[in-house]
Amino acid sequence: MTYMFSPDPGTAGDGAEFRRSFSTRHDPSSSMNRRILKHSTHYIPPPPNHLESISYEPDESEVWRMENRAVKQTNRGHWWTKTKKLALQQWMLTFVVGVLQGVTAWCCNLLSRSMSDWKYGKVYETLENSSPLAAYFLFLLFQVGFVLVACLMVFVEPIAAGSGIPEVKCYLNGIALPNLLKLRTFVCKVVGVAFSVAGGLPVGKEGPMVHSGAAIASLVSQGTPSIAGINTKFSMVSELRKNSERRDFVACGAAAGVASAFGAPIGGVLFSLEEGATFWSAKVTWRAFFGAMITIFTLYFIKNASISFGQADTNDVFSFGEVS
């Protein structure tokens, strides 16, 4: 309903003073009216200030339509078009995401396994050369120390706590969680889960790998403003800095994370399709599968680099992750 006011006949001028007083009395943001609305049955509390929604829809304005028409006019009669260049950049960056996720998964496994071997080696050595009580307290010291380092990572970046899968689902469904896909969150997540596993906590690396893959995909596709004062923005992929493109890359990164955790590239694609994203297309399907396959290839290549080429270092028919 729209209200229109004419000037007050008892006052001179155009009625600005009357309209100002009316807007003050009917302002929903005033303290008195907030108290009135709070007790109303139709009162809807305002959303938290730290949470925002993401619009994945393109801004279909007249400027957007003019730009699309200009791009189509430029591409007419040319084999190498701007659209093909953009698609090539997407596939190249998906390849980089797969490689980096494979290296990240291998480093996480190596770190947790090395710390566990070092811990048990020191405990066994103390058990052989000293009393069992001293070995027990040494083992307790190792466990508490590793868990404290993992807790410190959560203190540095609180959103790095937990598996990260619900948070990634939130982002793929349009909820912008602060610092979810930042470089600091990625580092805290990987280091924290490695120390948690080495500290004997009942946790695994499968969930955090999904979060790390999503963070890698976001960082590679969008870039980060600076690292240690050095500008790290990629000008070559400036056209990919859109919410919809970032969403597709995060979906591909989540698929690569599942593949690195379970050794199942098709399972990673199905996870992103069924559990994560609400928007999906055939192009995203092939890119997610390609990124997951590159992740598995990178992970197996690093693990089997010390043995003969073409021989996989596994004795199991089915593998559900490694035991550190």
The answer to whether position 293 is within a domain reads yes
Three-state SS string across 186-243, please? HHHHHHHHHHHHHCCCCCCCHHHHHHHHHHHHHHHHHCCCEECCEECCCHHHHHHCCH
Distance CA 194, CA 109 (A): 7
Indicate the pairing of strand 175-176 with strand 230-231.
unpaired
Q: Model's pTM, two decimal places?
A: 0.74
pLDDT score, position 24: 47
Give residues with Cβ within 8 angstroms of 301, minimum separation 6. 102
CA distance 63 to 186: 37
Structural domain contains residue 158? yes
Domain membership flag for residue 133: yes
CB-CB contact of 215 with 249 (8 Å): no
Closest CA to 153 of 101, 110, 197, 116: 197
Range of the domain at 225: 82-303
Q: How many domains does the chain have?
A: 1
Per DSSP, the residues of 235-274 read GGGGGG-SHHHHHHHHHHHHHHHHHHHHS-HHHHHHHIII
pLDDT at 5: 40
Residue 279 lies in a domain: yes
* Domain assignment of residue 145, yes or no: yes
Does residue 209 belong to any structural domain of this protein? yes
- Residue 8 is predicted with a pLDDT of 44
Residue 179 lies in a domain: yes
Residue 53, domain member (yes or no): no
Cα 15 to the center of its chain, rounded Å: 54
d(CA 159, CA 179): 7
Q: Which of 301, 304, 250 is nearest to 277 (CA)?
A: 250
CATH number at residue 275: 1.10.3080.10
Q: How far, rounded to the nearest angstrom, does the alpha carbon of residue 136 sit from its chain's CA centroid?
A: 39
**Strand, helix or coil for residue 67:** helix
For residue 5, what are the CA distances in angstroms to 14, 24, 26, 244? 10, 15, 14, 44
- Mean pLDDT per block of 10 residues along the chain (324 residues) reads 43 46 47 51 53 69 79 77 83 93 91 91 88 89 93 91 88 86 91 90 85 91 65 63 85 92 88 81 90 91 69 51 46
Residue 21, pLDDT score: 47
